[in-house]
Structure 1
Amino acid sequence: MPADEQSFPSVWARPQRQRREQPALSREQIVAAALRLLDTEGIGALSMRKLGAQLNAGATSMYTHVANKDELIELVVDEVYGEIEAPVPGDAAGWQAAITGCAHSIRSTLLRHPWIVSVLGEAGVAYLGPNMMRLNEAILAVFEEGGFPLDAADRALKTVFAYVIGVSTSEAAWLTMLARSGQGEQEWAERLWPAAERAVQEFPRQRELYAAQRGQNLRGARDDEFAIGLDCVVHGLAARFALEPGA
């Protein structure tokens, strides 16, 4: 491959290799198997050798489609983004409802695959993947329909993603830890509570907050906190770009 084609080490930055014969494995089969492995065993379990063993395939079949593990992760990340429900321009409820619905879908998708948040910053140029491209285009279209100039729509898109990924990263770490412990969310909280109460004794504001939160449904509380924060983000975007609340 010419040197200029190797300047960006990404599966999306090079042409697919052409073979005269039909390869033993398709890209779709490899990506599906990698996704199953990641969902069941986590990012630390993924290796080209282990994936090849699960697929009963040799390295030659694997490397027809991906040059290395980094390219494989790019493909799997884009596959996950394909699960997100993209907003649809022309939503009768308005752009804010469309963006809010999409943000909830992004969060739900990331939490179904909690390993993904640990690789989002390392997934090369994952934003060039076709599913990510389609999602971004749909979000930009909804913001434009709401009155955002294109450059403002781009800033708004990045702001929404920053909020959702930031919150989801903490949630995914929490859920991963719970999965390793074998305990439920409420069970873990009850066991930790005496230590938390001792820790906040000298901090009156936090002591009051902890007391008010005792016994609450943690899953419901996480959902509520996400929704409230997202509402602030969406209304903040509307205010920043001087749009009518119902636009």
Structure 2
Amino acid sequence: MPDSPGKPARTPVSRRDRPAKAPLSQEAIVSAGLDLLSSEGLPGLSLRKIATALDTGPASLYVYVSNLDELRALVLDRALGEVDLAAGADGPPRERLKAVLRSYQDVLLSRPGLARLASTTMARGKGALRLTETLLDCLAEAGVAGRDGAWGADLLLLQVTASAAEKSAWEEQGDVIEQVKQTYEHASATDYPRIHALGEQIFSGHGERWDWALDVVIEGIARVSGDR
């Protein structure tokens, strides 16, 4: 149909004039996954959604990642690269250890679902290697080396990961957690005398509680190592 009188003629636009897509790569896929995790949480971390974000088909992603499990591990590892490994560098080994682990927890809580991802996924790559190397170095400087250092670093990561996952769950399920607190705080003094006596203390502490738990674990690692 000819153009209406008085209207400028339409100029055909070739598909070739569209901006070229960025080359597909594992790095681009992981970056898109991290962006989706930030905006949608763990449900956003799917191959289909990543393919849509990159304007490609899901099948194209399998050239660079073998499956969703590998993708999750790579996304987690990329996030671990944000941990401040120099935190507390001027302090004594134990304080440096706590500072690095605090940064690790901050990273896990920086994106919805990341703490839960860390509790079910083993990262693979430089992010995880550098974090583990730093923890081993801190423990060695504190006098814990060899097998005790290796097991100790793993235990500390488990402790902080679990703590972050719990904190994340509290933030996501505030109403449910409040109901749990009420259950404990109003427990029968006859049936549950110790719970009743402690009351609010069971859920108290927040930041202070985090420091206390880490001190207990670190002291335990050092003591067991010293007894060998």
Does residue 25 of structure 1 match 2:13? no
In the TM superposition, what are the counterparts of 1:1-247 in structure 2 within 5 Å?
24-59=23-58, 61-87=60-86, 91-120=89-118, 122-123=120-121, 126=123, 128-178=124-174, 189=178, 196-202=184-190, 203-211=192-200, 221-242=205-226
Match of 1:242, SS state, is: helix
Gap change, CA 1:95 and 1:51, over 3 Å in 2? same
Match of 1:83, SS state, is: coil
Q: CA deviation at 1:132?
A: 0.5
2:12 corresponds in structure 1 to none
Amino acid at match of 1:63: Y
Q: Distance in 2 between matches of 1:121 and 1:75?
A: 14
Q: CA deviation at 1:229?
A: 0.8
Q: Is the 8 A contact 1:117 1:169 kept in 2?
A: yes
Q: What whole-Å deviation, never above 9, does each CA across 1:152-209 have from its counterpart, x for those lacking one?
A: 211221121121122222222222223xx6x9xxxx74x8766554434442332232
The TM-score with structure 2 as length reference comes to 0.75
Q: Is the 8 A contact 2:83 2:104 kept in 1?
A: yes
Q: What whole-Å deviation, never above 9, does each CA across 1:77-104 have from its counterpart, x for those lacking one?
A: 1011111122579x44211011111111
In structure 1, list runs of 5 or more residues that go unmatched.
1-21
Q: Is the 8 A contact 2:41 2:114 kept in 1?
A: no
Q: CA deviation at 1:26?
A: 3.2
Q: What whole-Å deviation, never above 9, does each CA across 1:86-130 have from its counterpart, x for those lacking one?
A: 2579x442110111111111222212234234334543x52x311
Amino acid at match of 2:219: H
Q: Which has the higher contact order (CA 8 A, sep 6+)?
A: 1
Q: CA deviation at 1:62?
A: 2.3
- Structure whose CA Rg is larger: 2
Q: Distance in 2 between matches of 1:207 and 1:54?
A: 52
Amino acid at match of 2:199: Y
Match of 1:85, SS state, is: coil
Q: Is the 8 A contact 1:197 1:210 kept in 2?
A: yes
The TM-score with structure 1 as length reference comes to 0.70
Q: CA deviation at 1:234?
A: 1.6
Q: Distance in 2 between matches of 1:34 and 1:133?
A: 21
In structure 2, list runs of 5 or more residues that go unmatched.
1-20
Match of 1:199, SS state, is: coil
- The runs of 4+ residues in structure 1 deviating greater than 6 Å are none
Gap change, CA 1:109 and 1:207, over 3 Å in 2? same
User: How many residues are treated as equivalent by the alignment?
Assistant: 206
Q: Is the 8 A contact 1:23 1:61 kept in 2?
A: no
Match of 1:119, SS state, is: helix
Q: What whole-Å deviation, never above 9, does each CA across 1:40-82 have from its counterpart, x for those lacking one?
A: 2222333211221122223354233212212211110101111
